[in-house]
């Protein structure tokens, strides 16, 4: 904004409030304000107590805080109710933007600010008009859902708190007082009461404590350029459709630069001329509103497309009472047209006000409203931050003097801007951020004038943190319009992208830095929400960093009133989360942030490196605790790796001969582990024959394995147990695993030369190949503690097919579970099952080759076996198959070019998910990955991906592709709930995406085309959301639901499939809406034994559009006729559109 030489006197804060419980405390002892006293006067704040003790008469304005505070529990329940709606819209917006961002991290090492500028142009220029339109639609939908959340939360809370408020109201009125405000979400009553009535009111069981009301004061071209707001404007983001509530002295809504932006007006001042009008009679509020959203070409606001809600709470002298402020905010977020998404509060008072601060904390934490608050104009002295600027969850704004230039290099802190630290030894950083506020002399901020009519200027200059605050409020609206809508994410992102000023790192003058929207814009996709809880207290993220790159962690304070005692079980402090930064390559700690009382932590990279960020919940005031983490580009969530120690015996052990034990320490995570060593614990009679114990392995990079080899000797024969422990010290954590192996020491081996049955323990060695055997089973093993060594020879069958189910090696005893059976160094070909373990455990299948069978290696009801170093390729069915088998280790195997699956999996329950499948190579020499816990996986190309009991997983931009010549493999999820699959490609596989007994998942914007079976299949799976996916040109069906209910299929395409586009078998109560099923060779949609489904606004364009089995069931094929664009562009949504390739067809609209 252009400056004028108008000099305005800067408005100073007034008032005084003492902070209760001001003693110093240590980090290890979380303080609370408690007292054993139960007397009514113990519930009175110190100012009221002094007033009562003085014997003064008259009346006093007070805030009465009630014991019952149900807001948080209500808010949590309502948010959970709408979680899926919010997640779908947020995922859609982010997935569109992410499409344009693919590959961004690849150039990270050469990143400079000028490169960022160029990438910004490429990034948003890559979005099509249709994509931008879709983002706008989703933003509007997201805003409406969020407003519904606010309304439902307040409605439910009001119902719970009203009885208590009514009791307090009756007591106040009985004492001759007047109630001026009743809280809608924080349970508080403001009133004017006789001083001598205070003890009686405090004695009410409903009352937690009473404080004296405070009076707050408003805090009095180039500036928007200084924060680079134009970066957002140029990309089409101007704050629309979000609304900023200007809680101030009113707004002149007729001002030419504001008239089109003010969407609603109301005054909450109850005295004087201001009680009759929402117009600004003072000038402060109109000026603030212009900084947010002025549409003037010269004096443009930060967010000129945002709506302004004029929530007048200040009078013509610039004073605001707390009851006026709370009433104004209640109205702005609940009743006002559009509903406020942001609250801009350019007022304050010295001291602290616990009730008022709790109000703002709850506004942000429970209702999800971003709040920007002025730091105050009481600088340059220390400890001058005003309330509510001391509040944890708001964004407290200090002022910069931008010297009337758009160049930031000459900007400095305004002399008047209030500084930290906060009192009583707190290490919380306030202000949070700096923005232009002008100089109180020659260079004020020019914005809209309230008295512009007649010959007065339309724009005038003012200075103060009041002017800096709407800069940040407008920035929040810009971020919302760009898809970042959560207050935690906005706060974290603005802090992380702020320019460090003053002393290196955060300080008490500049806070976390000077707002830089140019930097912010580029990183709108680099902030994410997460949570820690009493079970999961540590989380990890990995990505590339340059010197000076930051990561910022932000969470909210949760204030809980627990019981009737004042100052009552009232937690005054936020959870204590710490932030650490490590080098991924060598494990060195690079930085840490361990502030004891702060709800913001930040680390800074000192070097060019791949780094690991660790969040550590040192102590939690609530569980779960939601946080936002902002980083530079290219970061993904990872997990602290686990070491998988696999012990194998490299050669047979004979008495007094040396033999070798190998312990493979595998890093099955996505980041390196460091300082790894392996130690053996040896039984009596076994000793180390050479080398060292432990063996140091050093660093093991992600997905890789190192081997510790031990040479041992045994002095006696028999069964012996060897234990191994693998340790790692990585990222401030100790990672340990133990494993064991039972070995048998023999006197000598037995030779095998033909098909035979092995019924006694011992070592057996095949001394010749067996070719073209006609036996139904060549080698049958019915005893435990057997080693069968093929010695590189081959056992070959006649491939008679399924009627005989021939087996090359069959490990099974029909009357007992077999243990410790090893089959190794064998080649098996031309059998139905090459090597088959049934009801066998703690065995080993090592270094075998199984090809040209139906199943190469087959385990049924078998547990805790080790499959290592095998090659199970080119089988006509599956390479390795696990059926109802648990605890097995599949490590370092190759399974390629098998007709169905390289690794086939058939668990009967979550108990069968406990297998370890790591470092295996599938078709196309691509990895096969398996997860049995939550995983965040991004930007990977795999041969096969299996999830089993992996609830809460997030898959993004994953490509699953098997053989180039066989349609095999795919993405399979068994017993996996509440997971997201986005932007994933599963083409030319067996079944592209397969969900089995998996519920409440989201599959969005993914592709499953040209698969050998179906594109997307759900079996026994309910309440999943499939949106914006394609399942085309598959050999069977596009989308196939079997015994699956309550699923939502919207905006999907299932075209050109060989059989059916959409097939429902024994599946009911699903919603099939706005999908296309066209050009399918069988039918567009086929239903068998399926009822209760809602099927409307779909396009069916096939020779045979509909088919059904013997039992069709009753389904709904229409919805109430509604005005809106249907799937073929018509003006009404009602039924489906049925067409044929010859161009004939009709639409159902009734």
Q: What is the pLDDT of residues 619-675, one digit of tens each?
A: 998 989 999 999 999 999 999 999 999 999 888 788 888 899 999 999 989 999 999
pLDDT of residue 559: 60
**Does residue 988 surpass a pLDDT of 60?**
yes
- Which residue in the list 206, 248, 830, 1028 is annotated as catalytic? 248
pLDDT of residue 1148: 63
**Does residue 15 surpass a pLDDT of 50?**
no
**Does residue 189 surpass a pLDDT of 50?**
yes
**Does residue 838 surpass a pLDDT of 90?**
yes
Share of the chain above pLDDT 90, in %: 72
Q: Measured between alpha carbons, how far is 674 from 685 in angstroms, rounded to an integer?
A: 33
Q: What is the pLDDT of residues 157-187, one digit of tens each?
A: 999 999 999 999 999 999 999 999 999 988 9
**Does residue 5 surpass a pLDDT of 70?**
no
To the nearest 10 degrees (0 to 180), the angle between helices 129-174 and 83-101 is 140
pLDDT bracket for residue 57 (50, 70, 90): confident
Residue 1055 appears among annotated catalytic residues: no
**Does residue 847 surpass a pLDDT of 60?**
yes
Residue 466 appears among annotated catalytic residues: yes
**Does residue 445 surpass a pLDDT of 80?**
yes
Q: What is the mean pLDDT of residues 210-233?
A: 76
pLDDT of residue 566: 29
**Does residue 1150 surpass a pLDDT of 60?**
no
Q: What is the pLDDT of residues 316-345, one digit of tens each?
A: 999 999 999 999 999 999 999 999 999 999
pLDDT of residue 126: 60
* 128 close to 79: Cβ distance less than 8 angstroms: no
Q: What is the pLDDT of residues 883-900, one digit of tens each?
A: 999 999 999 999 999 999
Q: What is the mean pLDDT of residues 841-847?
A: 96
Among candidate residues 978, 987, 993, 1063, the one with its CA nearest the CA of residue 1025: 978
Question: What does residue 768 show for φ and ψ, rounded to 5 degrees?
Answer: -160, 160
CB atoms near residue 520 (< 10 Å):
29
**Does residue 1147 surpass a pLDDT of 70?**
no
**Does residue 568 surpass a pLDDT of 60?**
no
Domain boundaries, the chain: 32-213, 224-522, 527-638, 643-746
Q: What is the mean pLDDT of residues 1117-1123?
A: 86
- Which residue in the list 217, 255, 284, 1037 is annotated as catalytic? 284
Q: What is the mean pLDDT of residues 1051-1077?
A: 96
Q: Assign domain 224-522 to its CATH superfamily.
A: Peptidase S8/S53 domain (3.40.50.200)
Q: What is the mean pLDDT of residues 137-153?
A: 86
Q: What is the mean pLDDT of residues 221-245?
A: 83
Q: Measured between alpha carbons, how far is 693 from 708 in angstroms, rounded to an integer?
A: 9
Q: Burial-class residue 28 by CB neighbours within 10 Å (0-12, 13-18, 19+).
A: exposed
Q: Measured between alpha carbons, how far is 230 from 538 in angstroms, rounded to an integer?
A: 39
Q: Measured between alpha carbons, how far is 525 from 534 in angstroms, rounded to an integer?
A: 28
**Does residue 6 surpass a pLDDT of 90?**
no
Strands 673-681 vs 718-730: parallel, antiparallel or unpaired: antiparallel
- Which residue in the list 89, 349, 463, 466 is annotated as catalytic? 466
**Does residue 476 surpass a pLDDT of 80?**
yes
Q: Which helix (H) or strand (E) is 807 found in, with range?
A: strand 807-811
Q: What is the pLDDT of residues 593-634, one digit of tens each?
A: 999 889 999 999 999 999 999 999 999 989 899 999 999 999
Give the number of C-alpha atoms closer than 13 A to the C-alpha of residue 1116, restricted to the C-beta side: 16
3-state secondary structure of 551: strand
**Does residue 382 surpass a pLDDT of 60?**
yes
**Does residue 17 surpass a pLDDT of 60?**
no
With helix as H, strand as E and coil as C, how does 418-462 read? CCCCCCCCCCCCCCCEEEECCCCCCCCEEEECCCCCCCCCCEEEE
1039-1044-1045 Cα angle (round to 5): 110
Q: What is the pLDDT of residues 80-112, one digit of tens each?
A: 888 877 777 777 776 776 655 544 444 444 444
CATH architecture of 643-746: Sandwich (2.60)
pLDDT of residue 564: 29
Q: Measured between alpha carbons, how far is 1086 from 1081 in angstroms, rounded to an integer?
A: 12
Per the model's pLDDT, the better-predicted residue between 118 and 216 turns out to be 216
pLDDT of residue 105: 40
* 145 close to 86: Cβ distance less than 8 angstroms: yes
Q: Measured between alpha carbons, how far is 359 from 350 in angstroms, rounded to an integer?
A: 17
Among candidate residues 897, 1054, 1055, 1007, the one with its CA nearest the CA of residue 962: 897
Per the model's pLDDT, the better-predicted residue between 746 and 843 turns out to be 843
pLDDT of residue 144: 86
pLDDT of residue 700: 96
Q: Measured between alpha carbons, how far is 545 from 612 in angstroms, rounded to an integer?
A: 10
Give the CA distances from residue 244 to residues 313, 435, 1072, in Å, rounded to whole numbers and listed in that order: 15, 18, 38
Q: What is the mean pLDDT of residues 964-986?
A: 96
* 439 close to 608: Cβ distance less than 8 angstroms: no
Q: What is the mean pLDDT of residues 420-436?
A: 89
CATH classification number, 527-638, choose in 2.160.10.10, 3.40.50.620, 3.40.50.300, 2.60.120.380: 2.60.120.380
**Does residue 123 surpass a pLDDT of 90?**
no
Residue 789 appears among annotated catalytic residues: no
Among candidate residues 426, 645, 420, 447, the one with its CA nearest the CA of residue 511: 420
Q: Is 561 left (phi over 0), alpha (psi -120 to 50) or beta?
A: beta
Of 32-41, 143-152, 162-171, 1092-1101, the poorest mean pLDDT is in 32-41
pLDDT bracket for residue 1086 (50, 70, 90): very high
Q: Burial-class residue 468 by CB neighbours within 10 Å (0-12, 13-18, 19+).
A: buried
Q: Measured between alpha carbons, how far is 1050 from 1076 in angstroms, rounded to an integer?
A: 9
pLDDT bracket for residue 356 (50, 70, 90): confident
Share of the chain above pLDDT 70, in %: 90
pLDDT of residue 949: 96
Q: What is the mean pLDDT of residues 720-733?
A: 96
**Mean pLDDT of the residues in the chain:** 88
Q: Burial-class residue 950 by CB neighbours within 10 Å (0-12, 13-18, 19+).
A: buried
């Amino acid at each position: 904004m252009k400056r004028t030489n108008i000099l305005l006197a800067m408005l100073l804060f007034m008032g005084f409030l003492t902070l209760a419980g001001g003693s110093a405390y240590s980090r290890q002892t979380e303080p609370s304000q408690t007292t054993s006293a139960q007397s009514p006067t113990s519930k009175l704040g110190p100012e009221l107590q002094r007033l009562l003790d003085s014997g003064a008469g008259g009346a006093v304005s007070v805030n009465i805080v009630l014991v019952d505070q149900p807001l948080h529990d209500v808010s949590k329940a309502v948010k959970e109710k709408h979680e899926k709606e919010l997640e779908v819209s947020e995922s859609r917006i982010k997935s569109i933007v992410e499409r344009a961002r693919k590959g961004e991290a690849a150039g990270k090492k050469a990143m400079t600010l000028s490169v960022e500028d160029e990438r910004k142009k490429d990034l948003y220029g890559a979005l099509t008009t249709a994509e931008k339109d879709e983002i706008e639609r989703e933003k509007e939908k997201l805003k409406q859902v969020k407003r519904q959340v606010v309304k439902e939360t307040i409605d439910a809370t009001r119902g719970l708190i009203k009885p208590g408020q009514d009791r307090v109201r009756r007591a106040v009125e009985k004492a001759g007082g007047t109630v001026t405000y009743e809280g809608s979400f924080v349970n508080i009553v403001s009133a004017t009461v006789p001083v001598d009535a205070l003890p009686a009111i405090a004695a009410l069981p409903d009352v937690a404590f009473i404080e004296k009301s405070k009076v707050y004061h408003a805090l009095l071209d180039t500036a928007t350029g200084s924060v680079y707001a134009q970066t957002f404007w140029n990309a089409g983001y101007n704050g629309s459709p979000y609304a900023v509530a200007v809680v101030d002295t009113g707004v002149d809504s007729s001002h030419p630069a504001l008239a089109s932006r003010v969407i609603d007006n109301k005054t909450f001042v109850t005295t004087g001329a201001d009680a009759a009008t929402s117009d600004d009679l003072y000038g402060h509020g109109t000026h603030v509103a212009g900084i947010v959203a002025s549409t003037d070409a010269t004096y443009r606001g930060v967010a000129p497309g945002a709506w302004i809600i004029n929530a007048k709470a200040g009078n013509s002298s610039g004073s605001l009472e707390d009851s006026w402020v709370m009433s104004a905010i209640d109205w702005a977020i609940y009743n006002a047209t559009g509903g406020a998404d942001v609250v801009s509060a350019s007022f304050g008072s010295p001291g602290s006000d616990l009730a008022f601060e709790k109000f703002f904390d709850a506004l942000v934490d429970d209702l999800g409203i971003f709040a920007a608050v002025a730091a105050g104009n009481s600088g340059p002295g220390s400890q001058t931050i005003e309330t509510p600027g001391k509040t944890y969850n708001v964004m407290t704004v200090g002022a910069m003097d931008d010297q009337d230039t758009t160049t930031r290099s000459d900007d400095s802190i305004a002399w008047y801007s209030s500084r930290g630290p906060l009192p009583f030894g707190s290490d919380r950083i306030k202000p949070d951020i700096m923005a232009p506020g002008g100089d109180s002399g020659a260079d004020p901020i020019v914005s809209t004038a309230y008295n512009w009519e007649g010959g007065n200027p339309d724009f005038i200059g003012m200075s103060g943190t009041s002017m800096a605050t709407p800069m940040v409020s407008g920035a929040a609206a810009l971020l919302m319009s760009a898809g970042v809508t959560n207050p935690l994410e906005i706060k974290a992102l603005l802090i992380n992208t702020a320019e460090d000023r003053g002393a290196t790192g955060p300080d008490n003058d500049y806070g976390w830095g000077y707002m830089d929207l140019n930097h912010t814009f580029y990183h709108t996709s680099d902030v994410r929400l997460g949570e820690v809880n009493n079970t999961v207290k540590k989380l990890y993220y990995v990505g590339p960093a340059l010197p000076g790159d930051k990561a910022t962690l932000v969470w909210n304070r949760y204030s809980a009133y627990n019981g009737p005692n004042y100052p009552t079980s009232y937690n005054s402090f936020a959870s204590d989360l710490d932030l650490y930064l490590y080098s991924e390559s060598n494990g060195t700690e690079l930085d840490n942030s361990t502030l004891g009382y702060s709800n913001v932590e930040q680390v800074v990279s000192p070097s060019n490196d791949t780094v690991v960020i660790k969040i550590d919940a040192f102590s939690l005031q609530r569980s779960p605790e939601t946080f936002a983490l902002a980083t530079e580009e290219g970061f993904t969530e990872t997990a602290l790796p686990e070491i998988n120690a696999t012990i194998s015996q490299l050669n047979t052990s004979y008495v007094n001969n040396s033999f070798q034990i190998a312990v493979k320490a595998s890093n099955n995570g996505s980041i390196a582990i460091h300082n790894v060593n392996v130690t053996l614990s040896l039984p009596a009679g076994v000793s180390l024959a050479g080398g060292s114990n432990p063996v140091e392995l050093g660093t093991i990079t992600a997905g890789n394995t190192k081997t510790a080899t031990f040479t041992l000797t045994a002095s006696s024969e028999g069964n012996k147990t060897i234990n191994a422990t693998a340790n790692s010290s990585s990222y401030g954590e100790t990672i340990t695993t133990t494993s064991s192996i039972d070995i048998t020491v023999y006197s000598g081996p037995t030779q095998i030369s033909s098909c035979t049955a092995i019924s006694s323990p011992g070592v057996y060695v095949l001394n010749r190949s067996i070719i073209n055997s006609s036996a139904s089973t060549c080698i049958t093993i019915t005893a435990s503690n057997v080693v069968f060594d093929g010695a590189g020879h081959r056992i070959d069958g006649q491939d008679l097919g399924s009627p005989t189910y021939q087996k090359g090696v069959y490990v099974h005893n029909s009357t007992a579970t077999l243990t410790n059976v090893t089959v190794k160094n064998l080649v098996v070909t031309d059998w139905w099952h090459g090597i088959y373990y049934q009801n066998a455990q703690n065995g080993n299948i090592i270094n075998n080759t199984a090809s040209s069978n139906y199943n190469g290696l087959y385990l049924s009801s078998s547990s805790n076996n080790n499959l290592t170093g095998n090659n199970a390729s080119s089988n006509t069915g599956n390479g390795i198959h696990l059926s109802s088998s648990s605890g097995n280790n599949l490590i370092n195997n190759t399974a390629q070019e098998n007709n169905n699956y390289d690794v086939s999996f058939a668990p009967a329950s979550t108990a069968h998910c406990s297998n370890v499948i790591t470092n295996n190579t599938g078709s196309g020499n691509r990895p096969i990955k398996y997860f049995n816990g939550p995983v965040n996986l991004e930007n990977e190309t795999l041969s096969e991906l299996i999830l089993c009991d992996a609830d809460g997983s997030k898959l993004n931009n994953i490509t699953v592709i098997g053989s180039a010549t066989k349609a095999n493999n795919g993405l399979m999820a068994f017993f996996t709930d509440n997971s997201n699959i986005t932007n994933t490609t599963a083409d030319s596989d067996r079944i592209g995406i397969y969900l089995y007994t998996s519920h409440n998942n989201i599959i969005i914007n993914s592709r499953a085309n040209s698969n050998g079976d179906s594109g997307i299949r759900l079996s026994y799976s309910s309440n999943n959301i499939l949106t914006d996916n394609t399942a085309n040109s598959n050999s069977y069906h596009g989308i196939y639901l079997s015994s699956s209910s309550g699923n939502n299929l919207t905006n999907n395409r299932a075209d050109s499939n060989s059989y059916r586009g959409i097939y429902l078998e024994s599946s009911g109560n699903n919603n099939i809406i706005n999908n296309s099923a066209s050009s399918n060779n069988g039918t567009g949609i086929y239903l068998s034994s399926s009822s209760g489904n809602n099927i409307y606004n779909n396009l069916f364009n096939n020779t045979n559009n509909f088919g059904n089995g013997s039992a069709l069931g009753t389904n709904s094929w229409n919805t109430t006729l509604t005005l809106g664009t249907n799937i073929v562009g018509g003006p009404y949504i009602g039924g489906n559109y049925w067409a044929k390739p010859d161009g004939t067809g009709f639409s159902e609209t009734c």
